[in-house]
Structure 1
Amino acid sequence: MSSFKAGIQKLGKAMLLPVAAMPFAGLIMRLAADDMLNIAILGAAGNAIFGNLDILFAIGVAIGFAKAKDKAIPALTGFLAIATLQKGLEIMNPDVNMGIFGGIISGLVAAWTYNRFKNQKLPMIFSFFAGEKFPLTMVMILQTISAAIFGIIWPIIQNGIDSFAAMLVGMGALGVGIYMFLNRILIPFGLHHVLNTYVYFDLGSYTSPSGEVFRGEITRFINGDPSAGLFLSGFFIVMMFGVPGICLAIYRAAFKEKREMVKGTMGSGAATSFVANITEPVEFSFMFISPLLYTVHALFAGLAGIVTYLLDIRIGFTFGACIIDYLINFRIATNPLLIIPVGIAFFFLYYFTFYYLIKKKNIPTLGREEEKEYADEADESEKDISLASKNYAYMAKKLLDALGGVGNIEDAFSCNTRLRVEVKDPSVVDEQRIKQLGISGMIKPTETNYQIIIGLEVTYVMEELNKLIQSN
């Protein structure tokens, strides 16, 4: 269980890279669309992120699981892993698209390869390729094998999901609800796009007055099929109302002194979901912290699908289930006005449920880190030390000493507000001394993992800590 928790912590770290880039990328993609500003080069910047999420996840996972202070080689190993897998799959089966799942697998393979072979010795004539460079060679070999395996088994997995999606069609409202639930619950594994592909582009058939045949919920709706849109309508409830409700709950549940910081993050997340149909920045902020909250989110998404089906709401999208597509497709939709009252009801359902669970279960969502706590032996000078002094170098030095020195650091990185450290020997860590340094709190998710809550200035403390680590 301890190893599992440590793995979840590292997986959460791996999500920081793509998540950090998503909000702005999603907004500029929507603003750059043909029906808005129509600036192609602006949209290309957003597509650079969302068109390469598998690469970002591969690099992020490799960095998160690699045991190294300098993450440059692990990051390159992660890139080579996903690049090799992609090219191998093109040869094995050009129709295979593993999406984010391929990125996560590649990142894990890259991290394992780096950890296993980073100290590899070779004959003198090949010494240039030894040590940290050797994983760059090995990962290409291993991912070539992975491409051969997934090229064979992934179509079977994909066909199974396609068959399951076809079965949902015959289940009416319950089928739509199950689809919406699975759409959310599969996101952490990157498998939702496989289910979506069938629903979006192959579900059902419609022959236009001109005799042209169209397949898929999205394609049929845009081309005038009055029966299309039942599998898509629920997304408007979740993206335009549900996710903003989550954001408000996280903001309101945050400690008062931290709400200003949370407001910016959650406000951006709500706007991105409402305007651009991008929910990952919000969902990834709590899915690994609390599987309970994420399961509730998926259940509510399923409920939204059932309600819109029973109310015969039929509306589709091209870019995504956001306010822009809602307005654009309003004229050709069935009962689109009902989206507003149903959405408002779900906004409050999401808000009150999430707020209650966060507070009742004391879930450490953004802004709910532990309060400051001092040991009895802390003297007045230690209590006066705070990050407001801007003495980041001093703070980093004292933290490093309390953590057992450079030799005891297995891994260290920072997220939005926390310094996350993995140590080799927890028995030499002076936890009380850490708490006396003016930090906001400390969480110990596993025996060897520490989350030191510093606040927004953690970036500067991490910078100074890296200098100390690299100089030794």
Structure 2
Amino acid sequence: MKAALNSFKKKLAQLGRSMLVPVTAMPVAGILSRIASPDMLNIPLLKSAGDIVFGNMDILFALGAVVAFAKAKDKVSPMVASLLSILVLKSTLAALDETISMGIFAGIIVGCFTAWIFNHSKDWKTPKIFDFFTGEKFVITLAPIATVGLGYVLSFIWPPIQMVLDGFAIGIAKLGAVGVFIFGFLNRLLIPVGLHHVFNSYIYFNLGSYTQADGTVVTGEMTRFLAGDPTAGLFLSMFFVVMMFGLPGAALAMYKCAKKRKSEVKGLMTSSAITSFVTGITEPLEFSFMFVAPQLYFVHALYTGLAGAVCYLLGIRIGFSSGGNIIDLVLNWGLGSNVILIIPVGIAFFALYYFTFRFLIVKYNLKTLGREDDFIDSEEITEEEKNATLSNKNYAYIAKKIVENLGGAANIENIGHCMTRLRVETKDASLMNLEKIKQMGVKGVITLSDTSVQIIIGSEVQQVMAEIEQII
């Protein structure tokens, strides 16, 4: 039972990683679409370039899912197969039942289905005359053909599922402020296991529908808002309050409570707060207290939901393309409603986060940055290892030691990264030395199962990953 649960958690974490592909593609598309809108620069050609991304989210999700689950270092073949397969599925469903609308779920299912075919067919043996088409390229032939059958099955299975999902959307909407609170709370609560993208995706890309002037139908809170839907944005306004005001308040509290290394803590908290305010990327700041003080993180999740409920009750309606940051606030101000109220609400939440975090840290002696107990590892640490922290930018050495302490390149079955984490699957857990990895200056190590770990690097994860790719 435990093994099955660990396997399920691992698969969900991989699925969460796949959600990052479309999310990464959205900022530029959203900015293009917004600044080219009729009420701004009014450049239809530029707007259509941005809108094309929102019109093909299912394709992006298919690519994301196949990248997450295909077991290969070179994933070009499964990606090509996934692209062909999602086009085949859309055509098949349209021919069988035009009323079926799977949205992003079509992409997720096709991506997982293609990865499954790839993982099972890449080692199949065939007559030598077919060698060119087999091996890792075999999926390009098999997946689109198999997807026709998948489409036929889904034409029976999906309609009742679609009714349930629609009911969920309607139910959340009918709950009003309570529904928004639940969404905000779960949105943050799922971040530690990397599954918030799974939960977000339905709200962002499938909740509700809106028909534009040219007849194009778009779905999802994010896409509907950017398309000009006057009812969209109620589920998104909370993030401006939390990312621009609440979390910076938490950062100030942690700095004020630090007992040692004040200048270092000040630098880390300042840079993390600015990152949250300007870009909407919150992981560097959230990870600084998520594991050392989970009580604070639970409060943070509650306050995110509370911010959503308050914004809903005040009729604050604003959306984003990249996140609840100052850039999106300025660009999308004209599309929203009661946006000016973000400022007083944000100031109130800055104070709420600051005083709550400061009270809890002091009262319960929480070990946030600058308050850690002195610790001497019984295992000898070399001077070279002591100096090999991310602060000195020695990415090559850090990558080398991470690979070494994961059991070597041969023990790494799959490795990838999101905005702040390395996500690793190994073959033999006994070969890993996670304590040594923690000594490399990383921000934390999460064990999802015996062979699946996440190494929290921070904003420099891409540089570390680039060095790891040179090794393996």
Return the TM-score normalized by structure 2.
Answer: 0.69
Does residue 159 of structure 2 align to residue 147 of structure 1? no
The letter for the 1-side match of 2:149 is I
Aligned to 2:453: 450
Aligned to 1:241: 241
Aligned to 1:80: 84
Please point out which of 450, 459, 462 is paired with 2:462. Answer: 459
Does residue 409 of structure 2 align to residue 406 of structure 1? yes
Deviation per CA, 1:385-429: give whole Å up to 9, x if none. Answer: 345665544443333333222221101223334333221001122
In structure 2, relative to structure 1, the CA distance for the partners of 1:388 and 1:305 (3 Å cut) is closer
Aligned to 1:267: 277
Aligned residues of 2:316 and 2:341 also touching (Cα < 8 A): no
Aligned residues of 2:238 and 2:308 also touching (Cα < 8 A): no
Q: Whole-Å Cα distance in 2 between the matches of residues 361 and 13 of structure 1?
A: 34
The letter for the 2-side match of 1:382 is E
Aligned to 1:258: 268
Q: Whole-Å Cα distance in 1 between the matches of residues 286 and 119 of structure 2?
A: 29
Gaps of 5+ in 2: 188-196, 212-220, 222-228, 256-264, 369-373
Q: Whole-Å Cα distance in 2 between the matches of residues 112 and 336 of structure 1?
A: 46
Residue 89 of structure 1 aligns to a residue whose secondary structure is helix
Aligned residues of 2:70 and 2:118 also touching (Cα < 8 A): yes
Q: Whole-Å Cα distance in 1 between the matches of residues 386 and 418 of structure 2?
A: 25
**Superposed displacement of residue 378, structure 1:** 1.2
RMSD across aligned C-alpha pairs, in angstroms? 5.0
Aligned residues of 1:181 and 1:302 also touching (Cα < 8 A): yes
Residue 17 of structure 1 aligns to a residue whose secondary structure is helix
Aligned to 2:388: 385
Q: Whole-Å Cα distance in 1 between the matches of residues 84 and 123 of structure 2?
A: 19
Return the TM-score normalized by structure 1.
Answer: 0.69
Aligned to 2:17: 13
In structure 2, relative to structure 1, the CA distance for the partners of 1:341 and 1:389 (3 Å cut) is closer
Aligned to 1:118: 122
Identity among equivalent positions (%) equals: 37
The number of residues matched between the two structures is 421
Q: Whole-Å Cα distance in 1 between the matches of residues 460 and 54 of structure 2?
A: 29
Residue 36 of structure 1 aligns to a residue whose secondary structure is coil
The letter for the 2-side match of 1:36 is M
Deviation per CA, 1:215-255: give whole Å up to 9, x if none. Answer: xxx9xxxxxxxxx97x6584575365355445546755696
Deviation per CA, 1:231-283: give whole Å up to 9, x if none. Answer: 6584575365355445546755696453355345422444xxxxxxxxxx769
In structure 2, relative to structure 1, the CA distance for the partners of 1:245 and 1:151 (3 Å cut) is farther
Q: Whole-Å Cα distance in 2 between the matches of residues 465 and 124 of structure 1?
A: 36
Aligned residues of 2:388 and 2:397 also touching (Cα < 8 A): no
Deviation per CA, 1:110-129: give whole Å up to 9, x if none. Answer: 22222121211112222222
Aligned residues of 2:234 and 2:316 also touching (Cα < 8 A): no
Decide which moves more: 178-187 or 105-114. Answer: 178-187
Aligned to 2:313: 307
Q: Whole-Å Cα distance in 1 between the matches of residues 471 and 144 of structure 2?
A: 34
In structure 2, relative to structure 1, the CA distance for the partners of 1:306 and 1:60 (3 Å cut) is closer
Aligned to 1:107: 111
Residue 176 of structure 2 aligns to a residue whose secondary structure is helix
Q: Whole-Å Cα distance in 1 between the matches of residues 149 and 124 of structure 2?
A: 21
Deviation per CA, 1:29-53: give whole Å up to 9, x if none. Answer: 2222111122334434433433332
Aligned residues of 1:78 and 1:110 also touching (Cα < 8 A): yes
Does residue 208 of structure 2 align to residue 197 of structure 1? yes
Deviation per CA, 1:318-375: give whole Å up to 9, x if none. Answer: 9999677764677xxxx998787667667766887899999999999xxxxxx99855
Aligned to 2:191: none
Gaps of 5+ in 1: 202-217, 219-227, 271-280, 365-370
Aligned to 1:278: none
